Every structure is written in structure tokens, then in C-alpha cells.
Amino acid sequence: MYLFGASGHGKVVIDIVKSSIKDIEIEAVYDDNPKDKIIADLPVFKANATILDDVNLLWLISIGNNKFRKIVSEKIKGKFLKAIHHRAVIGIFSEIGEGTVVMANAVINSNAKIGKHCVINSGAIVEHDCVINDFSHISPNSALAGGVIIGEGTHIGIGACVIQGIKIGKWCTIGAGTVVIRDIPDGATVVGNPGRIIK
């Protein structure tokens, strides 16, 4: 398989693949603007149309930024895998979409539905019946109570909490440590306890 994205987030994805996916090896890492020739002992190359257009290749996008992850996903013609750290806890009735990465100590409970190309970061908790739409990022140690809906491309900041049954719109930013107690419209930036819309 191949990764796209040679950054700090890429290093974490490499670690997950190497420690948790035993039957697949990473051949190389590609990037639009590579700053280094090596990342975590893997060669880094500048992306080109030939490799991106090959429908037979297996990929993971190792970019933390939600918008860039979506842009890159539209360039790649191959198949996307998912990577789940062996120390994550996944409910047997949960669903996880292609291209999604689940990091160490994350918990995804019963009947949660995680979309494509999401990041469920270290120690994040996604409770029962949550719906996380494509290209979202649930940051380390954040917690979503039961039945929360997260719109496409939304970023839940480190240590944020969302009470049960809340709906957060598309492409929102929920700041670090924010406590969300009411629904949030598309495109909003929310901070504080209780969370308030500042943009």
C-alpha cells in the first residue's frame, strides 16, 4: 500500500499500519510538496499523475487537515483501505468507512457509524449511535455522547465534549476543550464552556 501525506500525522498512520495490519506493507509515502526524503524509515516521493491514476493501488491518506484530505481523495483513483490501531475498542455493530484511521485507545461504541476518510484520534470516545460523516476529525481525548451527529468535514478539537443527541453541521470547528450543549449550524466556529459561536 501507499500513503499520501508526509507529515507528523503521517508518522502516526505509519505506526498504526506497521503495528496493526500484519498482511500489508507500506511501499512508499507520496506528497505534493515533500520536505524530507525519508519519513519513519520509508521513502518519500513527489506525487505524480501516473501513480495517482493507477486503479490497482491501495492507499491511505495521511493528512490531518480535513479539506486537504478531501481534495487528495478526489485525485486518487486506487482503492482506499482503513487503519485501526490494535489498542482501539470498536463495537461489533459499528461501521467504519474506507480511508478512515482510528488511533490508539479510541473507543467507538455500539451502532456508531463512521464515514469515509475520517480521523478518530488517540483516546477519542464516540458513543453509541453517533454518526460521523466523511472527512471529519475527532481529536485526542474528545468525547461524543450517544446519538451525536457530526457533519462532513467538521473538526472536534482536543478535549472537547458534546452532550447526547446534538447535531453539529458541516465544516465546523469546535475549539479545544469546548463543551457543546446545543445544535451547531454549518460552517460555525465554536469555543468555550458552554460552547458559543464566534464565527
User: How many beta carbons lie within 10 A of that of residue 184, not counting itself?
Assistant: 23
What whole-number distance in Å separates Cα of residue 114 and Cα of residue 97? 6
Considering only CA atoms, which of 27, 31, 83, 34 is closest in space to residue 56? 27
What whole-number distance in Å separates Cα of residue 147 and Cα of residue 111? 10
**Which three cell numbers mark 154?**
467538521
In the annotation, is 128 catalytic?
Answer: yes
Among residues 9, 86, 128, 155, the one annotated as catalytic is 128
What whole-number distance in Å separates Cα of residue 195 and Cα of residue 11? 32
11: Cβ contacts below 8 Å, ≥ 6 apart: 39, 40
Decide the pairing of beta strands 155-156 and 137-138.
parallel
Q: Which residues are catalytic?
A: 128
